[in-house]
Each structure stands twice: as C-alpha cells, then as structure tokens.
Chains A and B, each alone.
Chain A
Amino acid sequence: MSVDYEPLFSAKNLKLITTPLGSQNPITIQVLGICSALAVTAKLEPAIVMSISVMFVLVFSNFIISLLRNSIPSRIRIIVQLVIVAALVILVDQILKAFAYEVSLQLSVFVGLIITNCIIMGRLEAFALGNKPWQSVLDGIGNGAGYGVILIIIAFFRELLGSGTLTLPGLGTLHIIPQMFYDWGYQNNGFIILPPMALIVVGIIIWVQRARNEELIETK
C-alpha cells in the first residue's frame, strides 16, 4: 500500500459528504430508496428515526466491508455484504424495540426492509469495495444524510399539510395550523397522507433541484 497521509478532512474527502447532499443525491438524482421514502414519511418523527437508522447501517456496513475488502472472496462478495447489512439491520431493529418502542411500532416492517434499500448495497458495491475505511465512512455519512434530508423534507410537508401537525422526537406532536383556520373552514388534506402523494412531493423536489442546477439537466 502506498503511504500517503492526506488530512482526514481534505477537500477531496469533504466532497464525499457534500456531493450526495446535492448533485449526487441518492433519492432525487440516483432515484434509489424511493420505497421507504414513500412509506415512512407520513409523520416527521418516523422519518427522522428512519434517516438515522439508514445512516447508521450505511456508515457501519461501508466501514466493515471496506476493512474486509481485500479478504472477501469475489465469488461470494454479495452474500458477504448481505450478511453484514442484515446483521446491522437486526441490530438497529433490536435497539429501537428496546429504547424507542413507540417509534419502532410506527416504523414496523420498514426497519427490517432497510436491507433491501438499494442505497446501501449500491454504496457497498460502488464505493466501499474499492476505497479505504475512512473514505467509506465519509461516503456513508454523506449518502445517509442525502437520503435523510429528502425524507425529512417530504415528511415535513406531508405531516404539515396532511395532519396540520409536526411530530418531533422528544417534543411530541406540535399543532402548527391554528384552530382558528379550522374554524374558518380550512381542512387537512387527507390525500397527501397516502403514499402516492409522497411521490409527487419527491417529483417537486427533483424539479426544483434541476431548475436550480443546470448541470443536472439532460441534453437530449
């Protein structure tokens, strides 16, 4: 191995965190992880917990696979990745059941389904297998955050417009829309609570993002 001591937060390393937040966002640009983005975003709290869980799994699986990358037999590398991801997912599920029981009920099967989240296998294959552990950890943080940011934006609008509330961890349910509005005839939009509306919110985010960043517009 070559001995190159580049600083931990060199410009190149920082880019690993920032690009997935913007021009390489896993949800809006790579269109991965859409299923869970539809499923857990009806309320803000589960979306936040889901984002943290996915980031946890992503960072640790990237780190472990990167450590093992030179020893994994290439014929079973997908199976090895699956075992590691599955183990981490079960770990998250068990911890949530023990320490955040009510949230774990809301997330129900979707924690278990983190294993099928394409972002995780995608990053393992595309990044962790070919890069050093520290860079892989940064890549995990970046992609986890890129996923989480979109989830939280979607959940914010869906809960606000759908239920008139915002549910934050530790603070409980906050009623944002004043009762006065309801007295005047305002109604919560029940439609936006249904999963298809999350897709429309994702679509609007993609639209805004592409309109602001011309590099993302395909020239065909």
Chain B
Amino acid sequence: MDRQGNTYTFLYASVLVVVVAALLAFVSQSLKPIQDKNVEVAKKIDILKSVKIESTSKDAVKKYDQYIGDNSFIIDYNGDKVDGDAFIVNMEKEVKKSFKDREYPVYISTINGEKKIIVQVRGKGLWGPIWGYISLDSDKKTIFGATFGHKGETPGLGAEIDKTAFQAPFTGKIIFDKDGKFTSIQVNKNVDTSKDPHAVDAISGGTITSKGVEAMLKDCLGGYKNFLKK
C-alpha cells in the first residue's frame, strides 16, 4: 500500500487510536479501586488529624474505625439530621449551593472519654481549593483541633496552612461570643492574637491564602451554627 496515500494514513491513525484507547481504558479500570482507596484513606487521615490522632496510610483505616467508625451523620441548615452517608458528601458541590440547600457532614469522635464534633470546611485559596476539618469540644463552641489541606498553594508561603505552626493556635479558640453570636475565627496579621479568643495569626507572605482560610471558616462554620447552638 502507498505509505503516503490517504487510505493508509486514515487506517494508520484509526488503528493507532483504537489500540491506545483500549489500553488506557483497561489500565484505568484496573487501577480505579486502588486509587479510590487512596483517596478514602487520605480523607480518613485528615479527619483523624483534626482530633489530633496521627495516622499513616497503613493504620488510618484501623484508627478511623476505632475513634469514629460509623459515628457520622448529615445535617441540614436547621441542624436536623437527614439521611445519607456523611463520608461520601462531596463538599466541592455543597459549597456552591446556598446555605439552606447544603448537606453538612458531621463526624463524632470520642477521645479520652470526651465527645468531639468534627465538621468539614472547604473554600478557595490563592491558586486553587483549600479544605479542612475542625473539631469542637462538647461545649460546641471551643475548637479542639483544626487541620487544613490545599491543592497547590505556594510552597513555603500559603502552603504553610497544612503545617502545625499554623494549625496549633486554633486549639482553644471560640467561634461564638458571650452572647451566643457566631463570630467565626479571624486570621489576622496585625494584632496580638494570643489574647483574642476569636483570632489566630496569619502567615506572612501568604496573605491571600490566610484570607481564604478566614472566608472558608466564616462560610462553612456559619452553615453549622444552628446545629452547634442546639
């Protein structure tokens, strides 16, 4: 056959594409269960970290079953339980809806005999999405622990939100004021935040990411306020 002719060229391209497509479809299908498992384990590590339980990809599933297990549920804006599995709620879709239409996942963990309430947050950083889990003491207003993650914030600057130095000061901060009004947590860089129960230090050089965390907390914790006031 003429190697420069149209027929040969079309045939060649078609066969090549079909072979490559079949190969990729096969690989993708056979690796999917392992990949889904990885995503699930990473989420469990994050949730456990918010109640200060360190875990690795090896023992995360075991520790999750031990500290949380099936103790999770979904609530609506009014704080009432609705049906569904909290673990598979897609926050990316939920935060795009209005407050009233969202589903809010809640996880309950028991640490040293004390009940901790874990809520999920998601927002925007400088380059892409940021997310996190906040755990609250049983008084439902004092933060016990916080963990944040990000897709691609600047390393050394905004990316520092996933480090202990940024997360540790959240412990002990309070998200309601004395009159029970929702105050959220300010991420501030100008004032002495050690004396302010409603603020933590921002990251120098990571202003937009820090503001993103602040906005995320206001938006997402705000959605939980009716549940937390109950």
Q: Does A11 contact B (CB under 8 A)?
A: no
Contacts of B3 in A (CB 8 A): 71, 73
Whether the pair A193, B38 counts as a contact (CB closer than 8 A) is no
* Residue B24, interface by CB 8 Å: yes
B138-179 interface with A by 8 A CB criterion:
151-152, 154-157
Contact flags A155-175 to B (C-beta < 8 A → 1, else 0): 000000011000000000000
Interface string of B6-39 (1 = CB under 8 A from A): 0011001100110010011001100100110011
Pairwise interchain contact B31-A190, C-beta atoms closer than 8 A: no
> Does A30 touch B at the CB level, under 8 Å?
no
Instruction: Point out residues on B near A: beta carbons under 8 Å.
Output: 3-4, 8-9, 12-13, 16-17, 20, 23-24, 27-28, 31, 34-35, 38-39, 41-42, 57, 151-152, 154-157, 205
Does A181 have its Cβ within 8 Å of any Cβ on chain B?
no
> Is B155 touching A42 in the complex (CB atoms < 8 A)?
yes
Q: Is the interface of A mostly helix, strand, loop or mixed?
A: helix
A98-B38, A190-B156 are known contacts. Are A87 and B8 too (CB-CB below 8 A)? no
Q: Please name all residues of chain B whose beta carbon is closer than 8 Å to the beta carbon of A71 when the two chains form the complex.
A: 3, 12
A162 touches B156 (CB 8 A): yes
Q: How far is the CB of B121 from chain A (nearest CB, A)?
A: 19
Q: Does A101 contact B (CB under 8 A)?
A: yes
Q: Which of A76-84, A122-130, A143-151, A203-211 contacts B (4 or more CB under 8 A)?
A: A76-84
Q: How many residues of A contact B (CB 8 A)?
A: 31
Q: Are A108 and B151 in contact (CB under 8 A)?
A: yes
A42 to B38, alpha carbons, bound, how many Å? 24
Nearest B residue to A87 via CB reads: B20
Known: A73-B9, A95-B31. A108 touches B24 (CB 8 A): no
A91 to B23, CA, bound (A): 9
Closest chain A residue to B34, Cβ basis: A98
Inter-chain contact A94/B12, CB cutoff 8 Å: no
Q: Residues of A contacting B23 with CB < 8 Å?
A: 87
Question: Cα distance A95–B152 when bound, in Å?
Answer: 21
Instruction: Assess whether B4 is in contact with A75, with CB atoms less than 8 Å apart.
Output: yes
Q: Which of B16, B35, B154 contacts A80 (CB 8 A)?
A: B16
Instruction: Decide: A101 and B38 in contact? CB cutoff 8 A.
Output: yes
Q: Across the interface, do B156 and A75 meet the contact criterion of CB distance under 8 Å?
A: no
* Cβ-based interface call for A90 (8 A): yes
Residues 62 to 121 of chain A near chain B (Cβ within 8 Å): 71-76, 79-80, 83-84, 87, 90-91, 94-95, 97-99, 101-102, 105, 108-109
Collect the chain B residues with CB atoms within 8 Å of residue A109's CB: 152
Bound CA span A101–B28, Å: 15
Report whether A83 and B17 are in contact in the complex, using a CB–CB cutoff of 8 Å. Answer: yes
Q: Find the residue from B3, B13, B156 having the highest chain A CB count within 10 A.
A: B156
